[in-house]
Amino acid sequence: MNRENRFISKWRYRITSMVRYRLLFLTSAPIFLTLIALFGITAYWSVHYTWQSALVDVGERLNIVEDKIESLQARQYDHLDAFASSYEFRTRLDHLQTHDEFDSWVSSQRERYSLDYLRWIPKQQISNLTDYAQMANQKSFFDVLTRTQATAIDPMLSDHAEVWHQAKHINETRALVSRTVTAVYDFNSKLLGYLDGGVLMNNNLALVDEIKSTIYSSHSYKGTVTLFLDDLRIATNVFMEDSYEGRRALGTVVSEQVREAVLERGEIWIDKAFVYDSWYIAGYNPIVDWHGNTVGITYTGYLVWPLIKTYITNLGEVTAIILSLLLISGFIVYRGARDLFRPIEQIHRVVKMVQLGKDEERIGELGLNSKHELSQLATQFDNMLNQLQYRNEQIQEAAHELEAKVHSRTASLKEKTEQLELHIQLLNQTRDKLVINEKLAALGELTAGIAHEINNPTAVILGNVELIKFELGSDIDRVEEEVDAILAQIDRIRNITRSLLQYSRQGAFKMKSPGNT
């Protein structure tokens, strides 16, 4: 960490103080900022147009899905209309013997015309001819059949329609079919009945795979196609990534946002969407039945991540190009400025040497034209150094002369200073003696006072003891020992006071002797 701090401090110092690096920075900064701005603008517009292009691409692919479904329904109608007009159908219908035999034959023709069911409905068996007339006018359309309706058409149809609803844990038994109803007339334009055929969308993996292979044949973004019944996936090539068997995400539901937009409001939705377990650039289109109700959704889209990966790769390439241009431009600027840096470095070197005390250093010739600004600056700087050196020499000579005069004039002052110091020393000694004498005099007075004060009570005690001794007379024998002890102590006290008085007199004598001198 300390090494990094030293490195940063070193380069900060170079950039802020060295002309070479400052000039390099000032010349490179506009180029660098321009390239950064160019990079930012490129990144912004790239993101914007890439995303818009992706949305347009998905919208176009969604239109292709719709076209494929419409072409499937148009082909379905053409097949059914051709079957209704065929010679074999007309012949069998005209020579109808039993309804069951004819119905079986009609049903057997479904594979020939790529249908999941095909049936003949005589006019006599239709309770509501108006509905069938409307359906016939629609040619091909989407319809949702209940389990009962699907079973009535073909029991196999209801079985193949089942999709396990993974969120609700139930079987979805309704069937979404692309249905075609064609009216059949006799030669007198009298209605005989209707041919009803259709393709089941539930679990129709072949259809979604066919559409995917058409619109994503050379696409590297893992495009997918899905058909929804309401919000439930009933046919898809979106795979469950957490499945080891490569199962498709059948029975899963569309996101709430898409469901509200497409199913509830009937809008086409093209944007980023969460499809099962990943983010996709997705397009959703409502499926409308022959009553005009939204009954399902067609979807197509591809993963966002490969697009982002491609974008990041392109951005990295742009970054590498910009950095390369920056390095090349910096190198060109540096190489082009060497003629400018070399004289400046020479001037800077001479300045450093002069600062270190080498006054004889000079810039000299820089190899530039005499009219060049740096050449003129170097000449003026050398002249300034010459003048400065001459002034320094004059100052040194003057300093030597001044030092000699000061030395001669301070010799007598030094002698007088020594005498003054001697007198001061004697004065200090005398002052110390006076202080001591004053202390001794004060002490003598104090001692005399103390001796006097002690003698007075001692005399009183002595007088009283002698009086007691006189009054007792012969009875003194009982306390004679104690009286003698008192008299001995009194003598001891008087001896002490005499010594103090003698000391105080000696102090007074010594105190007077300096005055006598």
- Evaluate if residue 49 carries a pLDDT over 80: no
- Evaluate if residue 221 carries a pLDDT over 70: no
- Evaluate if residue 128 carries a pLDDT over 70: yes
Q: How confident is the model at residue 275 (pLDDT cuts 50, 70, 90)?
A: confident
pLDDT in tens, 227-272: 999 999 999 988 876 544 568 889 999 988 899 999 999 999 998 8
pLDDT at 47: 65
Please count the other Cβ atoms lying within 10 Å of the Cβ belonging to residue 55.
16
CB-CB contact of 195 with 120 (8 Å): yes
pLDDT in tens, 373-418: 767 777 787 788 788 878 888 888 888 888 888 777 777 777 788 8
Residues 68-83 have a mean pLDDT of 91
SS (H, E, C) 321-365: HHHHHHHHHHHHHHHHCHHHHHHHHHHHHHHHHHHCCCCCCCCCC
Q: How confident is the model at residue 509 (pLDDT cuts 50, 70, 90)?
A: very low
Closest CA to 226 of 178, 278, 282: 282
Residues 323-339 have a mean pLDDT of 72
Which conformational region is residue 310 in: left (phi greater than 0), alpha (psi within -120 to 50 degrees), or beta?
alpha
**Sheet with strand 294-303: strands edge to edge:** 232-236, 224-229, 294-303, 278-288, 269-275
Closest CA to 341 of 25, 23, 16: 23
pLDDT in tens, 471-500: 887 777 778 888 888 888 888 888 888 887
pLDDT in tens, 175-213: 999 999 999 988 888 888 999 999 999 999 999 999 998
Residues 48-52 have a mean pLDDT of 73
How far, in Å, CA of 197 to CA of 192, rounded?
A: 17
The two tokens of residue 7 are 């490195």
In angstroms, what CA-CA distances link 98 with 69, 101, 102, 103, 104?
Answer: 36, 6, 7, 9, 10
Q: How confident is the model at residue 27 (pLDDT cuts 50, 70, 90)?
A: low
- Amino acid sitting at position 235: A
CB-CB contact of 15 with 21 (8 Å): yes
Spatial CB neighbours of 451, under 8 Å, sequence gap ≥ 6: 497, 498, 500, 501, 504
Q: How confident is the model at residue 514 (pLDDT cuts 50, 70, 90)?
A: very low
User: Which of the pair, 14 or 309, is modelled with greater confidence?
Assistant: 309
Q: How confident is the model at residue 517 (pLDDT cuts 50, 70, 90)?
A: very low
Q: For the chain, what percent of residues have pLDDT higher than 90?
A: 22
pLDDT at 14: 52
pLDDT at 327: 78
pLDDT at 241: 66
With b for 16 or more beta-carbon neighbours within 10 A and e for fewer, the 220-246 pattern comes to ebbbbbbbbbbbbbbbbbbbbeeeeee
Helix (H) or strand (E) holding 153: helix 147-153
- Evaluate if residue 44 carries a pLDDT over 80: no
pLDDT at 125: 84
pLDDT in tens, 449-468: 787 788 888 888 888 888 88
pLDDT at 138: 85
pLDDT at 437: 79
pLDDT in tens, 337-383: 666 667 777 777 777 777 777 777 777 776 666 677 767 777 787 78
How far, in Å, CA of 283 to CA of 261, rounded?
A: 12
pLDDT at 153: 87
